[in-house]
Protein backbone atom coordinates (compact mmCIF):
# COMPACT_ATOMS: atom_id res chain seq x y z
CA UNK A 1 0.00 0.00 0.00
CA UNK A 2 1.39 3.39 -0.98
CA UNK A 3 1.94 6.34 1.36
CA UNK A 4 -0.68 8.24 -0.63
CA UNK A 5 -3.26 5.52 0.03
CA UNK A 6 -2.37 5.40 3.74
CA UNK A 7 -2.85 9.15 4.02
CA UNK A 8 -6.18 8.87 2.19
CA UNK A 9 -7.33 6.18 4.63
CA UNK A 10 -6.29 8.41 7.52
CA UNK A 11 -8.34 11.22 6.00
CA UNK A 12 -11.40 8.99 5.60
CA UNK A 13 -11.05 7.91 9.25
CA UNK A 14 -10.88 11.53 10.39
CA UNK A 15 -13.87 12.45 8.24
CA UNK A 16 -15.76 9.59 9.89
CA UNK A 17 -14.73 10.85 13.34
CA UNK A 18 -16.33 14.21 12.56
CA UNK A 19 -19.41 12.80 10.81
CA UNK A 20 -21.34 13.24 14.04
CA UNK A 21 -21.12 17.00 14.50
CA UNK A 22 -22.78 16.71 17.92
CA UNK A 23 -19.70 15.15 19.55
CA UNK A 24 -18.73 17.16 22.62
CA UNK A 25 -15.53 19.14 23.02
CA UNK A 26 -13.84 16.45 25.09
CA UNK A 27 -14.16 14.01 22.17
CA UNK A 28 -12.88 16.59 19.69
CA UNK A 29 -9.93 17.30 21.99
CA UNK A 30 -9.16 13.58 22.24
CA UNK A 31 -9.24 13.22 18.45
CA UNK A 32 -6.93 16.22 18.13
CA UNK A 33 -4.45 14.66 20.57
CA UNK A 34 -4.45 11.46 18.53
CA UNK A 35 -3.73 13.39 15.34
CA UNK A 36 -0.98 15.48 16.86
CA UNK A 37 0.61 12.56 18.70
CA UNK A 38 1.29 10.29 15.73
CA UNK A 39 4.83 10.32 14.34
CA UNK A 40 5.11 8.08 11.29
CA UNK A 41 7.45 8.19 8.32
CA UNK A 42 5.95 9.45 5.05
CA UNK A 43 2.53 10.09 6.65
CA UNK A 44 1.72 13.34 8.43
CA UNK A 45 -1.46 12.74 10.42
CA UNK A 46 -1.41 16.22 11.95
CA UNK A 47 -1.40 17.73 8.47
CA UNK A 48 -4.19 15.40 7.33
CA UNK A 49 -6.18 16.46 10.40
CA UNK A 50 -5.81 20.14 9.53
CA UNK A 51 -6.81 19.51 5.92
CA UNK A 52 -9.98 17.75 7.05
CA UNK A 53 -10.86 20.55 9.47
CA UNK A 54 -10.19 23.16 6.79
CA UNK A 55 -12.33 21.21 4.29
CA UNK A 56 -9.34 21.02 1.96
CA UNK A 57 -9.77 17.24 2.02
CA UNK A 58 -13.23 15.97 1.16
CA UNK A 59 -14.76 12.51 1.06
CA UNK A 60 -14.59 12.63 -2.73
CA UNK A 61 -10.90 13.60 -2.89
CA UNK A 62 -9.85 11.09 -0.23
CA UNK A 63 -11.80 8.28 -1.89
CA UNK A 64 -10.34 9.10 -5.30
CA UNK A 65 -6.84 8.44 -3.95
CA UNK A 66 -7.80 4.87 -3.03
CA UNK A 67 -7.37 2.66 -6.06
CA UNK A 68 -6.74 -0.85 -4.75
CA UNK A 69 -9.48 -3.07 -3.42
CA UNK A 70 -7.48 -3.64 -0.22
CA UNK A 71 -7.17 0.09 0.46
CA UNK A 72 -10.87 0.68 -0.18
CA UNK A 73 -11.90 -2.14 2.15
CA UNK A 74 -9.61 -0.93 4.92
CA UNK A 75 -10.87 2.64 4.55
CA UNK A 76 -14.47 1.48 4.88
CA UNK A 77 -13.81 -0.83 7.82
CA UNK A 78 -11.88 1.79 9.80
CA UNK A 79 -14.58 4.38 9.07
CA UNK A 80 -17.27 1.95 10.19
CA UNK A 81 -15.37 1.17 13.38
CA UNK A 82 -15.03 4.87 14.14
CA UNK A 83 -18.72 5.55 13.50
CA UNK A 84 -19.78 2.63 15.72
CA UNK A 85 -17.22 3.29 18.45
CA UNK A 86 -19.68 3.82 21.29
CA UNK A 87 -22.77 2.13 19.89
CA UNK A 88 -24.82 1.82 16.70
CA UNK A 89 -24.17 4.58 14.18
CA UNK A 90 -26.59 7.50 14.43
CA UNK A 91 -28.34 8.82 11.28
CA UNK A 92 -25.55 11.30 10.45
CA UNK A 93 -22.94 8.53 10.67
CA UNK A 94 -25.13 6.14 8.69
CA UNK A 95 -25.42 8.78 5.97
CA UNK A 96 -21.64 9.23 5.96
CA UNK A 97 -21.06 5.48 5.55
CA UNK A 98 -23.60 5.37 2.73
CA UNK A 99 -21.82 8.24 0.95
CA UNK A 100 -18.47 6.52 1.53
CA UNK A 101 -19.81 3.30 0.02
CA UNK A 102 -20.85 5.21 -3.10
CA UNK A 103 -17.57 7.14 -3.32
CA UNK A 104 -15.51 3.96 -3.05
CA UNK A 105 -17.81 2.04 -5.41
CA UNK A 106 -18.01 -0.93 -3.04
CA UNK A 107 -20.91 -3.00 -1.77
CA UNK A 108 -20.27 -3.59 1.94
CA UNK A 109 -23.95 -4.18 2.64
CA UNK A 110 -23.96 -7.27 0.42
CA UNK A 111 -20.70 -8.46 1.96
CA UNK A 112 -22.12 -7.98 5.46
CA UNK A 113 -25.21 -9.96 4.51
CA UNK A 114 -23.01 -12.83 3.38
CA UNK A 115 -21.13 -12.72 6.67
CA UNK A 116 -24.39 -12.55 8.62
CA UNK A 117 -25.52 -15.82 7.07
CA UNK A 118 -22.27 -17.56 7.89
CA UNK A 119 -22.01 -19.73 10.96
CA UNK A 120 -20.63 -17.58 13.79
CA UNK A 121 -18.86 -18.65 16.97
CA UNK A 122 -20.09 -17.63 20.41
CA UNK A 123 -20.07 -13.88 21.14
CA UNK A 124 -16.96 -12.41 22.69
CA UNK A 125 -17.20 -12.04 26.47
CA UNK A 126 -14.76 -11.10 29.25
CA UNK A 127 -12.65 -13.88 30.74
CA UNK A 128 -14.46 -13.88 34.08
CA UNK A 129 -17.78 -12.14 34.86
CA UNK A 130 -17.74 -9.48 37.55
CA UNK A 131 -18.89 -11.28 40.69
CA UNK A 132 -20.02 -8.71 43.29
CA UNK A 133 -18.46 -10.86 46.00
CA UNK A 134 -15.05 -11.22 44.35
CA UNK A 135 -11.95 -9.07 44.73
CA UNK A 136 -11.50 -6.23 42.27
CA UNK A 137 -7.96 -7.11 41.10
CA UNK A 138 -8.90 -10.23 39.07
CA UNK A 139 -11.66 -8.26 37.36
CA UNK A 140 -9.30 -5.43 36.39
CA UNK A 141 -6.68 -7.88 35.14
CA UNK A 142 -9.18 -9.88 33.09
CA UNK A 143 -10.54 -6.82 31.32
CA UNK A 144 -7.08 -5.31 30.88
CA UNK A 145 -5.73 -8.52 29.35
CA UNK A 146 -8.79 -8.85 27.12
CA UNK A 147 -8.55 -5.32 25.73
CA UNK A 148 -4.78 -5.54 25.28
CA UNK A 149 -5.25 -8.78 23.34
CA UNK A 150 -7.88 -7.09 21.15
CA UNK A 151 -5.35 -4.34 20.43
CA UNK A 152 -2.89 -6.94 19.12
CA UNK A 153 -5.30 -8.36 16.55
CA UNK A 154 -4.66 -7.19 12.98
CA UNK A 155 -8.39 -6.93 12.27
CA UNK A 156 -10.10 -3.57 12.52
CA UNK A 157 -12.87 -5.19 14.55
CA UNK A 158 -10.38 -5.85 17.32
CA UNK A 159 -10.05 -2.13 17.94
CA UNK A 160 -13.81 -1.70 17.76
CA UNK A 161 -14.39 -4.20 20.56
CA UNK A 162 -12.03 -2.49 23.04
CA UNK A 163 -14.33 0.40 23.99
CA UNK A 164 -17.43 -1.78 24.61
CA UNK A 165 -15.30 -4.09 26.78
CA UNK A 166 -14.14 -1.09 28.82
CA UNK A 167 -17.74 0.15 29.06
CA UNK A 168 -18.86 -3.27 30.28
CA UNK A 169 -16.11 -3.22 32.92
CA UNK A 170 -17.22 0.17 34.26
CA UNK A 171 -20.83 -1.03 34.20
CA UNK A 172 -19.89 -4.15 36.21
CA UNK A 173 -17.91 -2.09 38.72
CA UNK A 174 -20.81 0.31 39.20
CA UNK A 175 -23.09 -2.66 39.80
CA UNK A 176 -20.72 -3.92 42.50
CA UNK A 177 -21.50 -0.72 44.37
CA UNK A 178 -25.25 -0.96 43.82
CA UNK A 179 -25.33 1.56 40.95
CA UNK A 180 -27.12 0.62 37.72
CA UNK A 181 -25.52 2.56 34.87
CA UNK A 182 -26.67 3.03 31.29
CA UNK A 183 -24.42 3.45 28.28
CA UNK A 184 -24.51 7.25 28.39
CA UNK A 185 -23.41 7.35 32.05
CA UNK A 186 -20.52 4.97 31.35
CA UNK A 187 -19.47 6.93 28.26
CA UNK A 188 -19.60 10.22 30.17
CA UNK A 189 -17.41 8.79 32.92
CA UNK A 190 -14.70 7.91 30.39
CA UNK A 191 -15.02 11.31 28.75
CA UNK A 192 -14.53 12.98 32.14
CA UNK A 193 -11.15 11.26 32.35
CA UNK A 194 -10.21 12.38 28.84
CA UNK A 195 -10.90 9.01 27.22
CA UNK A 196 -12.92 9.53 24.06
CA UNK A 197 -14.54 6.41 22.61
CA UNK A 198 -14.17 7.59 19.01
CA UNK A 199 -10.59 8.75 19.61
CA UNK A 200 -9.64 5.37 21.11
CA UNK A 201 -11.00 3.43 18.15
CA UNK A 202 -9.43 5.89 15.72
CA UNK A 203 -6.05 5.61 17.41
CA UNK A 204 -6.11 1.81 17.52
CA UNK A 205 -7.07 1.48 13.87
CA UNK A 206 -4.53 4.02 12.69
CA UNK A 207 -1.76 2.49 14.77
CA UNK A 208 -2.34 -0.85 13.07
CA UNK A 209 -2.64 0.71 9.63
CA UNK A 210 0.57 2.71 9.95
CA UNK A 211 2.41 -0.30 11.39
CA UNK A 212 1.42 -2.27 8.31
CA UNK A 213 -0.33 -5.03 10.25
CA UNK A 214 -4.02 -4.33 9.63
CA UNK A 215 -5.70 -7.38 8.17
CA UNK A 216 -9.40 -6.58 7.92
CA UNK A 217 -12.27 -8.53 9.43
CA UNK A 218 -11.35 -11.76 7.69
CA UNK A 219 -7.57 -11.32 7.80
CA UNK A 220 -5.18 -14.04 8.90
CA UNK A 221 -3.94 -13.59 12.40
CA UNK A 222 -2.02 -16.64 13.49
CA UNK A 223 1.34 -15.56 12.11
CA UNK A 224 0.85 -11.90 13.03
CA UNK A 225 -0.25 -11.99 16.66
CA UNK A 226 2.68 -11.60 18.99
CA UNK A 227 4.97 -10.35 16.26
CA UNK A 228 3.71 -6.79 16.03
CA UNK A 229 6.39 -4.21 16.77
CA UNK A 230 3.95 -1.32 17.14
CA UNK A 231 1.16 -3.55 18.36
CA UNK A 232 2.97 -4.73 21.47
CA UNK A 233 3.47 -1.15 22.66
CA UNK A 234 -0.15 -0.39 21.81
CA UNK A 235 -1.27 -3.46 23.75
CA UNK A 236 0.64 -2.34 26.84
CA UNK A 237 -0.95 1.11 26.67
CA UNK A 238 -4.43 -0.37 26.23
CA UNK A 239 -3.83 -2.70 29.19
CA UNK A 240 -2.76 0.26 31.32
CA UNK A 241 -5.67 2.45 30.22
CA UNK A 242 -8.25 -0.25 30.93
CA UNK A 243 -6.73 -1.19 34.29
CA UNK A 244 -6.55 2.45 35.41
CA UNK A 245 -10.07 3.16 34.17
CA UNK A 246 -11.46 0.29 36.24
CA UNK A 247 -9.48 1.21 39.36
CA UNK A 248 -10.61 4.84 39.24
CA UNK A 249 -14.21 3.80 38.53
CA UNK A 250 -14.14 1.61 41.63
CA UNK A 251 -12.94 4.50 43.78
CA UNK A 252 -15.45 6.89 42.25
CA UNK A 253 -18.51 4.70 42.73
CA UNK A 254 -17.34 3.57 46.18
CA UNK A 255 -17.33 7.25 47.19
CA UNK A 256 -20.94 7.62 46.10
CA UNK A 257 -19.80 9.59 43.02
CA UNK A 258 -18.49 12.43 45.20
CA UNK A 259 -14.86 12.55 44.00
CA UNK A 260 -13.93 15.78 42.19
CA UNK A 261 -13.12 15.65 38.48
CA UNK A 262 -9.60 17.04 38.98
CA UNK A 263 -8.84 14.33 41.53
CA UNK A 264 -10.24 11.63 39.24
CA UNK A 265 -8.09 12.73 36.30
CA UNK A 266 -4.99 12.97 38.47
CA UNK A 267 -5.54 9.49 39.88
CA UNK A 268 -6.20 8.10 36.41
CA UNK A 269 -2.99 9.57 34.96
CA UNK A 270 -0.91 8.14 37.81
CA UNK A 271 -2.49 4.71 37.54
CA UNK A 272 -1.92 4.54 33.77
CA UNK A 273 1.82 5.01 34.27
CA UNK A 274 1.92 2.42 37.06
CA UNK A 275 -0.16 -0.08 35.10
CA UNK A 276 2.18 0.07 32.09
CA UNK A 277 4.74 -1.89 34.09
CA UNK A 278 2.06 -4.36 35.12
CA UNK A 279 1.11 -4.74 31.46
CA UNK A 280 4.62 -5.83 30.50
CA UNK A 281 4.49 -8.43 33.27
CA UNK A 282 1.40 -9.96 31.66
CA UNK A 283 2.68 -9.76 28.07
CA UNK A 284 2.79 -13.54 27.65
CA UNK A 285 -0.82 -13.90 28.80
CA UNK A 286 -1.89 -11.04 26.54
CA UNK A 287 -0.33 -12.67 23.49
CA UNK A 288 -1.86 -16.03 24.35
CA UNK A 289 -5.28 -14.42 24.70
CA UNK A 290 -4.81 -12.66 21.35
CA UNK A 291 -4.11 -15.98 19.65
CA UNK A 292 -7.24 -17.44 21.23
CA UNK A 293 -9.38 -14.50 20.13
CA UNK A 294 -8.00 -14.44 16.58
CA UNK A 295 -10.12 -17.43 15.60
CA UNK A 296 -13.29 -15.65 16.76
CA UNK A 297 -12.73 -12.87 14.23
CA UNK A 298 -12.64 -15.04 11.14
CA UNK A 299 -15.64 -14.10 9.00
CA UNK A 300 -17.61 -12.44 11.80
CA UNK A 301 -19.76 -9.37 11.49
CA UNK A 302 -18.98 -6.55 13.92
CA UNK A 303 -22.43 -6.72 15.52
CA UNK A 304 -21.83 -10.34 16.46
CA UNK A 305 -18.36 -9.66 17.79
CA UNK A 306 -19.82 -7.08 20.14
CA UNK A 307 -22.55 -9.38 21.39
CA UNK A 308 -22.89 -9.23 25.17
CA UNK A 309 -20.37 -6.46 25.72
CA UNK A 310 -22.46 -3.28 25.65
CA UNK A 311 -24.00 -2.35 29.01
CA UNK A 312 -27.62 -1.31 29.30
CA UNK A 313 -29.74 0.31 26.64
CA UNK A 314 -28.67 3.25 24.48
CA UNK A 315 -29.59 6.56 26.04
CA UNK A 316 -32.34 8.47 24.26
pLDDT (tens digit per residue) in 80-89: 878 877 667 8
Position 298 scores a pLDDT of: 59
The fraction of the chain above a pLDDT of 90, given in percent, is: 19
Range of 36-50, 156-170, 240-254 with top mean pLDDT: 240-254
- Nearest residue to 171 (alpha-carbon basis) of 79, 243, 246, 268: 246
Burial of residue 299 (CB within 10 Å: 0-12, 13-18, 19+) is middle
pLDDT score recorded for residue 268: 93
pLDDT digits (tens, 9 = 90+) for 85-115: 766 788 888 999 999 999 998 865 444 433 3
Radius of gyration of the chain (CA): 19
d(CA 214, CA 280): 23
Residue 41 has pLDDT above 60, yes or no: no
Q: Which of 205, 266, 272, 270 is nearest to 237 (CA)?
A: 272
Q: Tell whether the model's pLDDT for residue 227 goes beyond 50.
A: no
The answer, yes or no, to whether residue 224 has pLDDT greater than 50, is no
Most confident of 16-25, 46-55, 118-127: 46-55
Confidence band (pLDDT; 50, 70, 90) for 234?
low
Cα–Cα distance measured from residue 267 to residue 111, given in angstroms and rounded to the nearest whole number: 45
In order of 89, 138, 203, the CA distances from 45 in angstroms are 24, 37, 11
Q: At a CB cut-off of 8 Å and minimum separation 6, what does 133 contact?
A: none
pLDDT over 50 (residue 233):
yes
Specify the pTM.
Answer: 0.68
Instruction: Give the pLDDT score at 261.
Output: 80
What is the average pLDDT across 149-167?
Answer: 76
Q: Which pLDDT value is given to residue 62? A: 93
Alpha carbons 257 and 295: distance in angstroms, whole number: 40
Check residue 299 and give its pLDDT.
Answer: 54
Q: Considering only residues 234 and 306, tell me which one the structure prediction assigns the higher pLDDT.
A: 234
Query: What is the model's pLDDT at position 156?
Result: 61
The pLDDT, as a whole number, for residue 23 is: 64
Structure-model confidence comparison of residues 131 and 116, the more confident one: 131
Task: Tell me what the pLDDT averaged over the chain comes to.
Answer: 74
Amino acid sequence: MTSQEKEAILSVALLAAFADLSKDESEHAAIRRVAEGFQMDAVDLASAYQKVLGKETTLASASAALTSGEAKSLAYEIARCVCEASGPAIPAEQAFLKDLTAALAILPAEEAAAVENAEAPAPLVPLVPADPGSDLEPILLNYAILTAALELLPQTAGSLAIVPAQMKMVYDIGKRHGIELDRRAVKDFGAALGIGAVAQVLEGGLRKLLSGVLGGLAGKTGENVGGLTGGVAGGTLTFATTYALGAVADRYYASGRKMELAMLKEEFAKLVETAKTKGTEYSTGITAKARELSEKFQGMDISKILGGLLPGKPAA
